[in-house]
Amino acid sequence: MNPSKASSEKKPGVYLLYGDDDYAMARAVQEMLAHYEDATLGDLNITRLGSKASVDEIRSAAFAMPFLVNRRTVILTEAIEQLKGEKNTQNFLQLIQSLPASTALIIVVSTELDRKDWKDFKKGHWFRIWADSQPANVVFSREFALPAPAQMQTWIIEEVRRQNGQILPDAARELANLVGTNTQLASQEINKLLTYVNFSRAIELDDVKELVADVAPSSIFNMVDAMAEGRQPLALQLLHELMDQEDPYRVFGMIIRQFRLLLQTRELIDLGNRNTIAASMKVHPFVAEKLEKQAQRFSLEQLKIIFQRLLKIDENNKKSLMELSIDLDLFVCELTLI
């Protein structure tokens, strides 16, 4: 990102990062800055601006001369605000088209997935159209989407490898169930787990169960109880409260995990092994007692049907056939009628 004098004009002047994976975008920015010409002068040549920065403030930072290096960097986060409004549009476009070769402008747009496109930053957005029309040596553009729930296990394995560690598949699956699609949280927990095993062995299932808190609140139990009892308004209320507190993808991961545990518990009950639930599933006896009581509200066949429905929701989400929050609403309504 900060080339030698001979190649400075060949590097892009604008770097556009957009999507809903804030952790991945922040990491990408850090990787760019890691290649700075002189780390001791980095702070003198890096300006960070947020959503409240005016176009004039961005211009002032962008047109400042670099100090003892070839290029300075301006990082604009939460940039969607500067890309709204006709006046802002004209001023911002004029700014980036006249950007000096001595400045790299990194523009970070945090947004949410809306069907097959990004909310507030769709394909028809004027800045995406402009960026896509520019050659690679003028604009570097990259999309950062959170992994789908079904992809988190693989993401975790790759992130552990990136952090120079190893993790067993069942441990990665359990961690994915606990953190949902929150990549920032997953990375933090991975770092904690690798420190715990001292990078000397692979992270095991018991390590995850011992160190990573079960983020599924009691509301998950209460919501499933309300579903089983046919109390649709209460079940929907609890679902919406959860989604107000957490990312919908994380809530979806909690629901999948809860019904997976109930399915396993119901199988043990039907086999006459209810006394082995805690030991077989490696959960606290108190949790095993709650799972047993809740599993008795469903038949094994019902739980299999429910789990298939959850897999279908995951498939719909990956294909962007329906917004996840709407699909979860429908799931709760359907289940309360069983």
pLDDT tens column, 47-77: 999 888 888 999 999 999 988 888 899 999 9
Average pLDDT, the chain: 85
Task: Give the span between the Cα atoms of 81 and 77, in whole angstroms.
Answer: 10
CA distance 44 to 26: 20
DSSP 148: P
Joined tokens for residue 92? 């911002």
Contact yes or no for 204/168 (Cβ under 8 A) = yes
| Topology (CATH level 3) of domain 149-211 | Helicase, Ruva Protein; domain 3 (1.10.8)
The CATH T-level fold of domain 218-335 is: Zinc Finger, Delta Prime; domain 3 (1.20.272)
pLDDT score at 84: 82
Domain residue limits, the chain: 8-144, 149-211, 218-335
Task: Give the tens place of pLDDT for each residue, 130-153.
Answer: 999 999 999 999 999 988 877 899
Long-range contacts, 260-268 (Cβ 8 Å, 24+): 260/177, 260/307, 261/291, 262/224, 262/291, 262/294, 262/295, 262/298, 262/303, 263/300, 263/303, 263/304, 263/307, 265/291, 265/292, 265/294, 265/295, 266/295, 266/298, 266/299, 266/300, 266/303, 267/300
Tokens 């927990």, located at residue:
189
The CATH homologous superfamily of the domain defined by 8-144: P-loop containing nucleotide triphosphate hydrolases (3.40.50.300)
What is the arithmetic mean of pLDDT over 7-30?
Answer: 86
- What tokens does 300 get? 């094994």
User: Mean of the pLDDT values across residues 318-322?
Assistant: 69
Please state, in angstroms and rounded to a whole number, the distance separating the CA atoms of residues 15 and 88.
Answer: 19
Confidence (pTM):
0.64
The model's pLDDT over 100-123, given as tens digits with 9 standing for 90+, comes to: 999 999 999 998 877 778 988 999
The CA distance from 73 to 105, in Å, is 6
